[in-house]
Structure 1
């Protein structure tokens, strides 16, 4: 409309001409050049936006390289807010109708009185992929004109507010955050909704209210739902995308789901479905293009109707249990459009001939791991194959047909029986980035230094082979694992020249000498360094610690000196293991400043002195494994010592971020591992165990005094080992608050008094040891306690009752029974009080503590509990 301005310039500035244009062509648009000097944005809208920006703090992303928020950083308070990045206004009213601040590094809670909710005419709100935390306020329901709401990738928790159901204009809703509880029924009011993303931690049965939302096209419910899918799910007749992967749905997959004519993508993987009804009348003209049924409990033959889905371009049937039956692999030859096929770990005795897939001319990704594969020496597979996984396929010779696969980018032939040298031509494949040859019997690489070093490989796993001489490696490596070989001598210094190296794993070899000083000099991005189970010695050089470290494991070596204090700069550090070395140092209090530390293992070294610092509280909010056993630590642990250890006191899910998985399944992983004493036995914790176990082990030190009462806060604790110290005093009955405890070892101390009968109510407590103390009185009645071995109570002269042979005196036994009944009543009252007042986690213990400790301690405890 502004092209009238050109016309205006062609006329003399005569008032009559202006009147003429105003009357005849509405010169309002002709004067748009003047309007540009005015602000379209209303002042109240600008103020609300400006205040909203100030409600959060912005921090630099450590990985993206983005400094703060590039959008709001360019906002200026004296300019038109409708021109601000991420802001759109209604051109007629000047009201803000769209706000897009995704990926802006915003940190902090979204308050219920946030100025955001003054932007009442918002139609689109996108705040995804920020660090917005806390509970999503009910005030969100006041933005009643919203059609698009995206909060995915934030850190909200708690329940989804029912007020979301007030947003009746919504067509797109993404609440993929940390929400828990069940889906509110009010979501059934959103009858215009077309896209729903709830990749959260919601639980309960399938939300039947969704069946009322007939306009739904896209459903993504990757959460924690269980039960069965409704048989009338076909009422969602417009559905094109349905993803419920990673839930706990069970029973049969309703055949009606496959009959929705518009359905294109169906993802049911990683559930507990057990059967699929054979569908006789499914049409070969079905529009289904992507079908993922992997990692369920399906058993029996693979359904024949799959061969009729000729439009499939993606098919995942992994981990199907055919009960060791035979599989007719020819049914897949009908699926000419297939581009990705995953048949890994079918439980079958069939052998598949690779030539069977020669006619699938679009196939670019094939996973046959876990199946016996036949590969003829003359095989020519004319496929544009890019990703090939043949792990655990009983292959004894390197597949020669791969020599011509110039499009190959990912190859996994791990866990086979291939010997000898890795062929030279493999290094010449131009696009091959990921190569996993682990768990074979390779002994070396063919090829000249120029060919190997100029190869484009970025991820290379040669672990668990027969290498003795350290090989030449591609200079482009980002991930290298050479663990479990026969390497010896010093760690090659040339590893420091790999500028892109992010992950280096050289565990379980025979390396000796010192750790190279050059790691951090050149590799500023090294985030995972694992050198455990070698014979490395000397002091760990401070300058080799990369600020980007997330996982650092040098356990089971011969390192000495102090713990490198440069670790304090590793703000992303999650896993630290230096067990079984000769490190001599005081307790590293400075580690409590690392905000992401989850696992700390200092066991079997020569650490000494107290683990408390006068005047300083020690708080590890994310710590889940704390093992300082077998050292020389001394002193008394304050009663509030564990008061700030939040991850062990509440149900907080953490993902083990350090496992590496680039592609494929199974052998494409690398996990942390650490030793652990549980139920009196040494065990190795690997992989998913890190997300389960929450343990404290301070055994075999020289601690004295009472066991800290604040340990009763750690109600998610699974293993508690305080044995082989000099603890005294009574065993607190409030250890019964640790309802998830499975293993308790208090042996070889100076504890006195009786075993609290409340411990008999810990239903998960399968192993306990009270031996070698001064405990007396009757052993409490209860299946968990009395099922223990007699050795668990040995060398306590005053103990009596089963399972010991020593009986308690009649009168004494009667008094003990009355005492137990009284204690049961008191404990039941405390439990009721705790249930009624959630902030008071440890009940009367706090009252006892308050009688002898300062007011500031009370304030810290109260703040933690609330």
Structure 2
């Protein structure tokens, strides 16, 4: 609870108690006594907030009210007093509002209203525009607003930002958008169900600086009228169904800083057209049908973006070497195209590069060693034809967090310098031709979350020091931010708590200063678990953890220390030559979801303590030399069928068809079976005896048949027997007489 003495601060003007764990009802707390407040923020707590906000009706000086992410409580219908305050900024997001609070009907000077991430239904509340002619920003994203987008009938010159994304709006885009909001700078209409083409009238919005229409059902081409947006610096038409090419007028007529056309059906060649965007900072044209080669570009002084994403297209040819001269480049993704040829050495000159994704192409040759001088963080080179040893290509990249070299033709040993990368959390070397032992230096990677060394030729034992891995949830998202710009954009931050009362009174809220937008690039990794290969991205990637050592030539026992990896989710050691028992310490793997130890030479009993693994979804110890009863069919182990245990002749019990009461004791089994060291397997002696008898009878019958059919061989046989008997007779006489 807020301390009651806080209500004695009658002259308090600015109060921020946001992002704590305060509880209690705001209406009965000390805040109702603070009549001098001009700025109040109690967001991100556990307060109970009455829907009428009548507790602040007498706060006549209140200008800024921020109450996001609390618990809205209903009130009995009462006649609420008309508030004495006139707000300029109101933010009530994440409150489960079903409609805007009624007190807004009495507000006339609002400049920013944020009702995003609520449950507001109905149509666009046009009355907000009518009552507040000074309104500059309205955020209604992530609500339940439905129907056609009905704009106000009057013009509003001050509206700079309108966000109606992630709703259920449908129909055509309003053709009068430019006439109603002539000075609109940022328009966000993503994740709706708009249809039809982008209206030509959008070209009349001369001051439009940002347009975002992703995830709609807009079809058709990009109109040439977009070229009339002479002030357009941010254009986002991603995640639609746009077709055709990029209009030349759009590129030639707009000083674009950001161009986002991802996830459409656009086609044709994009270069050298895009070279005309001399001020471009972010280029994202991924997931389209663009074709052709990227031509040689002699100078990059005018084309100097920070982010380039042309992945998932049909672009061919060699990787453009001139990209190595883009001094500001921080993010480069050319994945899932048809690029061929060697890895350009010129890319070593990208000294600001943070993110590199060239996966799913046809690149071959060595990885240049000069990459060890780049402070890169994310490297994705999977599914290519890269060859040679992994020498020192990334040995000095102390900021490296992800290294994905899956499915190439890399050879040699896994270099020990990988263990000196302090931030490495994802190491994927699957399906190469690495050999030798697992370097003990890998145990130094205490930030590691995923390690996949499967489908190589690794030998030797498994290092017991792998328990140094903590597998804690990553503290970062898989979205890499590249660019911050100074106009109101997709997200806004207001540092009003640092603003004095005089600043609030004189300048209010400067949208151009405090609004910012972050351009992000997502990445994903592929990891095999639960007998299937999955793609992990987003928040799931932060929590996924696993080790895959399958399909190698590893020998020796499984270190019991592996059982202390308490946070691991997937462990695969199948298709090796591991021996010895299954460590009982595996019962400590409380977060394990997939455990595969199949196709080894493990022996002994399956530890019954494994039934304590309540999160286990996939379990396999098939094709080993395990013996004794299977674990009790309880908890998760009640879901595993016979395939989890098959190929172990000495196992018995459900779900196998072998009853443990009918199986001979281990002492008898040791007399009937013996271990063949040469072939690493067991030989059934009874089977051996029967096969010997059958073979003996067959040979005798074959000899008899030959003697019966051929007189020559019959005479020869009798002569042979006579000689043998005579020889034996004289031998005996000589020996005993």
The verdict on a shared fold, with TM-score over 0.5 as the criterion, is yes
Q: 1:623 aligns with which of 434, 442, 448?
A: 448
Distance 1:431 1:740 in 2: 52
Partner of 2:605: 754
Q: Distance in 1 between matches of 2:443 and 2:391?
A: 19
User: Is the aligned partner of 1:490 residue 2:318?
Assistant: yes
Q: Which range moved further: 339-348 or 309-318?
A: 309-318
Give the count of matched residue pairs.
Answer: 615
In structure 1, what is the Cα distance between the partners aligned to 2:604 and 2:99?
63
Picking from 518, 522, 529, the partner of 1:678 is 529
Q: Which residue of 2 aligns with 1:293?
A: 115
Cα pair distance change 1:708/1:258, threshold 3 Å: farther
- Taking the aligned partners of 2:437 and 2:388, their CA distance within structure 1 comes to 18
**Structure 2 residue 280 is the aligned partner of structure 1 residue 452:** no
SS for the counterpart of 1:483 is coil
Question: Of 417, 420, 424, which residue of structure 2 is paired with 1:590?
Answer: 417
Matched with 1:160 is none
Q: Secondary structure at the match of 1:552?
A: strand
| Contact 1:265-1:288 at 8 Å conserved across structures | yes
Question: Gaps (5+ residues) in structure 2?
Answer: 492-516, 666-737
Give the drift of 1:345. Answer: 2.7
| Larger CA deviation: 275-284 vs 763-772 | 275-284
Cα displacement (A) at 1:263? 4.6
Counterparts of residues 199-598 of structure 1 (less than 5 Å): 211-212=29-30, 229=49, 235=55, 237=59, 240-241=63-64, 243=66, 261=85, 263-269=87-93, 271=94, 273-277=95-99, 279-280=101-102, 282-298=104-120, 306=128, 310=132, 311-322=134-145, 325-331=146-152, 337-371=158-192, 372=194, 374-377=197-200, 380-393=203-216, 394-429=218-253, 431-444=255-268, 452-453=275-276, 455-471=278-294, 475-521=303-349, 523-598=350-425
Deviation at 1:702, TM superposition (A): 2.1
Is the contact between residue 246 and residue 270 of structure 2 (CA under 8 Å) also seen in structure 1?
Answer: yes
Task: Identify the residue that residue 639 of structure 2 maps to in structure 1.
Answer: 787
Partner residue in 1 for 2:589: 738
- The 1:564–1:774 alpha-carbon spacing in structure 2 relative to 1, beyond 3 Å, is same
Q: Whole-Å Cα distance in 1 between the matches of residues 446 and 82 of structure 2?
A: 47
| Alpha-carbon distance, 1:723 to partner | 1.8
Structure 1 residues 569, 361: closer, same or farther in 2, change over 3 A? same
Q: What SS is found at the alignment partner of 1:460?
A: strand
TM-score under structure 1 length normalisation = 0.64
SS at match of 2:550: coil
Cα distance change of structure 1 residues 251 and 804 upon mapping to structure 2, 3 Å threshold: farther
Q: Provide the residue aligned with 2:501 in structure 1.
A: none
Q: Secondary structure at the match of 1:428?
A: helix
Give the CA deviation at 1:359: 1.7
CA deviations on 1:679-713 (whole Å, 9 max, x unpaired) are: 11111112333212122212222222332333333
Work out the CA distance in 2 between the residues paired with 1:685 and 1:552.
Answer: 16
**Residues 390-412 of structure 1: CA distance to partner in whole angstroms, max 9, x if unpaired?**
22441312133322222211101
- Aligned partners of 1:627 and 1:697 also within 8 Å: yes
Judged with a 3 Å threshold, the aligned counterparts in structure 2 of structure 1 residues 736 and 418 are, in CA distance, closer, same or farther, namely: same
Aligned to 1:49: none
Matched, 1:196 2:16: yes
Q: Which of structures 1 and 2 has the larger relative contact order (alpha carbons within 8 angstroms, sep 6+)? A: 2
- CA contact 1:252–1:274 (8 Å) conserved in 2: no
- Pairs within 5 Å for 1:149-164: none
| TM-superposition CA deviations, 1:491-518 (whole Å, max 9, x none) | 1212222222211111001111101011
Contact 2:156 2:180 in 1 (8 A): no
Contact 2:575 2:598 in 1 (8 A): yes
Which residue of the partner structure matches residue 668 of structure 2?
A: none
Greater C-alpha Rg:
2
Per-residue displacement from partner, 1:548-573 (whole Å, max 9, x unpaired)?
A: 21111110001011224141221211
**Cα root mean square deviation, aligned:** 3.8
Mapped contact 2:123–2:149 kept (Cα < 8 A): no
TM-aligned CA distance change 1:575 to 1:638, over 3 Å: closer
Work out which of the residue numbers 477, 480, 502 in structure 2 matches 1:658. 480
Q: Give the whole-Å Cα distance in 2 for the aligned partners of 1:260 and 1:750.
A: 81
- 1:822-837 equivalences under 5 Å are none
State how far apart, in whole Å, the 2-side matches of 1:503 and 1:433 are.
Answer: 15
Mapped contact 1:612–1:637 kept (Cα < 8 A):
no
Between the aligned partners of 2:578 and 2:185, the Cα distance in structure 1 is 64
1:96-135 to 2 correspondences below 5 Å? none
Q: Secondary structure at the match of 2:323?
A: helix
Query: Structure 1 residue 608 and structure 2 residue 430: aligned?
Result: no
Return closer, same or farther for 1:808/1:569 CA change in 2, 3 Å cut-off: same
**1:454-505 CA distances to partner (integer Å, 9 max, x unpaired)?**
6211111122222222346861221111111112221121222222221111
How far apart, CA to CA, are the structure 1 residues paired with 2:84 and 2:111? 13
User: Are the equivalent residues in 2 in contact too, given 1:211–1:235 (CA < 8 A)?
Assistant: no
Is 370-379 or 622-631 further displaced after alignment?
A: 370-379
Q: Is the 8 A contact 1:541 1:564 kept in 2?
A: no
- CA–CA distance in 1 between the matches of 2:266 and 2:326? 23
Kindly provide the CA deviation profile for residues 349-407 of structure 1, in whole angstroms up to 9, marking residues without a partner as x: 33331424522234211011234155444665345110011224413121333222222
Q: Give the Cα–Cα distance (whole angstroms) in 2 for the partners of residues 627 and 518 of structure 1.
A: 30
Aligned residue number for residue 796 of structure 1: 648
Structure 1 position 739, deviation (Å): 2.4
Post-superposition CA distance 1:546-600 (Å, at most 9, x none): 5121111110001011224141221211111000001113123212222221211
Per-residue CA deviations over 1:614-655 (Å, capped at 9, x if unaligned) read: xx682212211111111122222243x133223x1x456333
**Gap runs ≥5 in structure 1:** 1-183, 814-866
Deviation sequence 1:395-441 (CA, Å, 0-9, x none): 31213332222221110112334334322222334531100122334
Counterpart position of 1:632: 457
SS of the equivalent of 2:558 reads coil
Matched, 1:727 2:548: no
- More displaced stretch, 432-441 vs 299-308: 299-308
- Please state how far the C-alpha of 1:753 moved relative to its aligned partner: 3.2
The Cα offsets for residues 273-328 of structure 1, whole Å up to 9 and x where unpaired, read as: 54425644543435543222334455555567645652532222223234xx4245
Q: Is the 8 A contact 2:386 2:410 kept in 1?
A: yes
Within 1, Cα distance between the matches of 2:406 and 2:545?
A: 18
Aligned pair 1:809/2:661, yes or no? Answer: yes
Q: Please tell me whether the aligned partners of residues 592 and 619 of structure 1 are also in contact (alpha carbons under 8 angstroms).
A: yes
Instruction: Write the distance in 2 (CA, Å) between the matches of 1:332 and 1:565.
Output: 66
